[in-house]
């Protein structure tokens, strides 16, 4: 699941949005920002919400002129440790990197590294130096994010700027960009989280992902991670999916000859 928050300069994130984001994504918090000297700073590996909050507010009050990019992780592959916590530093560009989504081509049941970390090492770290200045490469990365229902966020400290790839898959709320809607609610008791396992699909752990609003029950699509009314999701190959994700992942059901992702 995970969630990324992009906080522009001088914009404040409501504290309940931070708390809600953590309540769904408890496997590590991290954030990045630019110092007044134009240097990238990455803080990550927070497993305690209050410890994170104190350090984050300390950094934000001292560097409110900077963009802040925050990431709340829920593990879908790789170990739950600081090394798999976002953000990451891109060695081929002076930038920090966060990802929200599941990169199934880079998911391994036997690797201690997460899909994001393997994508970073095998793709981004093999890019030419300064690759984010190349429009063609950025277009390809944006298309890849779109096709995998992912969102990529890069923070460039020298320009104090942010690149959001597949931005339309998230939403802006009161000046802050959120990669999905989990910031809006605090989880109910007994909620479930899906963990991707290659070849066998998803396994369910001891949490529950439905949300009740009035008389309507909402569930996550287990691919794009957006909320839908329960009757708008279908079970397809063992997953709860929205119609657009079924069409993308299983085009043969729609008579398409496109290759599955």
Domain with residue 165: its CATH number is 3.60.20.10
Q: Retrieve residue 100's tokens.
A: 């929200």
Interacting residues of 11 by C-beta distance below 8 A, sequence separation 6+: 174, 175, 176
Q: Retrieve residue 168's tokens.
A: 């339309």
Between CA 224 and CA 182 the distance in angstroms is 13
Between CA 101 and CA 38 the distance in angstroms is 29
**Where does a domain end: 167, 182, 197?**
182
Question: Per-residue pLDDT tens for 171-224?
Answer: 999 999 999 998 988 764 433 433 333 333 333 333 334 444 444 556 767 677
pLDDT score recorded for residue 240: 73
Same domain (yes/no): 75, 10 = yes
Same domain (yes/no): 166, 194 = no
Same domain (yes/no): 137, 193 = no
Same domain (yes/no): 145, 202 = no
**Where does a domain end: 125, 155, 182?**
182
Between CA 129 and CA 166 the distance in angstroms is 23
Which contiguous run of DSSP H or E holds residue 239?
strand 239-241
Q: Is the pTM of this model over 0.85?
A: no
Same domain (yes/no): 95, 17 = yes
- Asked whether residue 261 is domain-assigned, the answer is no
Same domain (yes/no): 63, 152 = yes
38 — alpha (psi -120 to 50), left (phi > 0) or beta? Answer: left
- Asked whether residue 175 is domain-assigned, the answer is yes
Between CA 44 and CA 89 the distance in angstroms is 12
Q: Retrieve residue 152's tokens.
A: 């990529």
pLDDT band for 238, please (50, 70, 90 cuts): low
Same domain (yes/no): 150, 35 = yes
- Asked whether residue 259 is domain-assigned, the answer is no
Same domain (yes/no): 118, 139 = yes
Between CA 63 and CA 84 the distance in angstroms is 25
Same domain (yes/no): 125, 141 = yes
Per the structure, how many domains does the chain have?
2
Same domain (yes/no): 147, 163 = yes
Contact in structure between 135 and 96 (CB atoms under 8 Å): no
- Asked whether residue 66 is domain-assigned, the answer is yes
Question: Per-residue pLDDT tens for 79-101?
Answer: 888 889 999 999 888 899 999 99
Between CA 116 and CA 185 the distance in angstroms is 26
Same domain (yes/no): 111, 202 = no
Residues above pLDDT 70, as percent of the chain? 79
Same domain (yes/no): 22, 118 = yes
Between CA 101 and CA 184 the distance in angstroms is 18
Whether the per-residue pLDDT at 56 is higher than 90: the answer is yes
- Residue 246's domain spans which residues? 187-254
pLDDT score recorded for residue 59: 96
């Amino acid at each position: 699941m995970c969630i990324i928050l992009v906080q522009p300069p001088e914009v404040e994130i409501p504290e309940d949005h931070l708390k809600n984001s953590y309540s769904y994504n408890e496997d590590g918090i991290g954030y990045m920002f630019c110092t007044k000297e134009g240097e990238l700073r990455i803080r990550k590996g927070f497993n305690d919400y209050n410890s994170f909050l104190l350090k984050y507010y300390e950094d934000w009050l001292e560097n409110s002129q900077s963009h802040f990019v925050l990431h709340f992780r829920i593990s879908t592959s790789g170990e739950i440790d600081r090394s798999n916590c976002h953000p990451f530093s891109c060695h081929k560009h002076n930038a920090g990197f966060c990802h929200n989504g599941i990169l199934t081509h880079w998911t391994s049941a036997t690797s201690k590294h997460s899909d994001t970390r393997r994508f970073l090492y095998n793709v981004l770290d093999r890019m030419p130096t300064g690759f984010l200045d190349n429009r063609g490469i950025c277009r390809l990365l944006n298309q890849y994010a779109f096709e995998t229902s992912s969102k990529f966020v890069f923070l460039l400290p020298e320009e104090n700027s942010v690149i959001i790839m597949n931005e339309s898959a998230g939403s802006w709320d009161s000046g802050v960009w959120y990669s999905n809607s989990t910031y809006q609610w605090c989880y109910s008791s007994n909620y479930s989280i899906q963990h991707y396992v290659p070849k066998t699909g998803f396994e369910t752990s001891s949490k529950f992902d439905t949300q009740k609003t009035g008389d309507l029950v909402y569930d996550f699509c287990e691919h794009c991670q957006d909320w839908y009314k329960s009757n708008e999701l279908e079970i397809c190959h063992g997953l709860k999916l929205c119609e657009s994700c079924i069409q993308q992942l299983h085009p043969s059901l729609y008579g398409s000859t496109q290759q599955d992702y």
